[in-house]
Amino acid sequence: MTTFPVAKIRADFPILAEKIRGKDLVYLDNAASCQKPNAVIDAISNVYRHDYANIHRGVHTLSVRATDKFEAAREKVQRFINAASSKEVIFVRGATEAVNLIAQTYGRANIKAGDEIVITAMEHHSNIVPWQMLCEQTGAVLKVAPMNLQGELIYEAFEALLNDKTKLVAVVHMSNALGTVNPVKQMIDAAHAKGIPVMLDGAQAIPHMAVDVQALDCDFYVFSGHKLYGPSGIGVMYGKQALLEAMPPYQGGGDMIKTVTFEKSQYAGLPHKFEAGTPSIADVIGLGAAIDYLNDIGMEAIAAYEAELLAYATEKAGQIKGLRIIGEAAEKGAILSFVLDRIHPHDIGTMLDSLGIAIRAGHHCAMPVMDFYSVPATARASFAMYNTRQEIDVLTAGIENLIAMFG
């Protein structure tokens, strides 16, 4: 087993000491949102205590200090995903806003009636609905690459969808409902061979593995801060500089302009063209602190430890009679979705909560995935770097007690 400082890491997350209904908290809802280390909490608190002012436009000391920390966070994101320039890092409210931004700027400018957009059958609603809206606006057609019962993309079917009409591929890097890690480098290369740009939804992937956007050669990459041990309400849209420069702004307002008259406005350069208005200053700085924290641990070490947790949880779940795992891809991140015979997932979630165990129960904003497996919902235990084998033992014992209770 990999040597991993999980006890030290757990001590950095104050919420993990909480008691829920008199029980030790077992937090296994990380795919929905991760908890925050002291480093992030302190960074946000320190901004408001010592450095807060509006950024970019002020010449006084507090404004300069806040601006420096804000832009330093942008550079941390650039290095974390290996973007070629900090100009390619756009701060948004989250992955959802990033997808909508791309759809309504790049999409509206480049996609017309009869064109096709390719997604996969395992997408989150946030990577379905914005493209449906764009198709309604433009007359474009949404194409869906299928998956098999293991929850894996049928790659040959994906590749067969790529043709002269395809103007964008928008696919999930790691499925939030199944844990499937798609062969995104192979998919990008196939799309680029036909001149098709590719956007990756990295909201689930980014906390679990090292991401290098230049090595992947993706055209866009989007993710949220709250799944990366950072604050909610902040996220990142990466785009290749040439594409971003050609795209129109998403919103108009302060800080995204160079000059304004009543007759015409000139827009600011990158990245500010896409960052209208006062941003979530402290949360951006908090995201930078989260990245510093993860870099100190190492994404490769995190990925290796979480792979061990998933393997252990999968083995334990396989020993429970009446439990069916939903999503058994060979390449998979730290997510265990399951159903139990005769017990609704919402009942599973409620009963486990009485034991202090936090999981997610529902469709996970992936209704087409539920339809594919002919289930109304799943229970989902999702693991993070601060989880332990002992917590998995508590989970499996809770599931077995639940099964016994329902007879």
Residues recognised as catalytic: 365
What is the rounded distance in angstroms from the CA atom of residue 297 to the CA atom of residue 302? 7
Q: Which tokens in the block code for residue 288?
A: 């930078």
Contacts of 211 (CB under 8 A, 6+ apart): 80, 81, 82, 173, 202, 205, 221
The answer to whether residues 132 and 139 touch, using CB atoms and an 8 Å cutoff, is: no
The answer to whether residues 316 and 105 touch, using CB atoms and an 8 Å cutoff, is: no
How many other C-beta atoms lie within 10 A of the C-beta of residue 192?
A: 15
* Angle at 234 (CA atoms; ends 200, 268), nearest 5 degrees: 85
State the helix-helix crossing angle for 389-406 and 299-318, rounded to 10 degrees: 30
Q: Which tokens in the block code for residue 270?
A: 């990158």
**Residue 80 φ/ψ, nearest 5 degrees:** -65, -40
User: What b/e readout covers 279-304, taking b as 16+ CB neighbours within 10 angstroms?
Assistant: bbbbbbbbbbbbbebbeebebeebbe
**Residue 174 φ/ψ, nearest 5 degrees:** -135, 130
Q: Is the dihedral of CA 285, 286, 291, 292 positive or negative?
A: positive
What is the rounded distance in angstroms from the CA atom of residue 364 to the CA atom of residue 32? 8
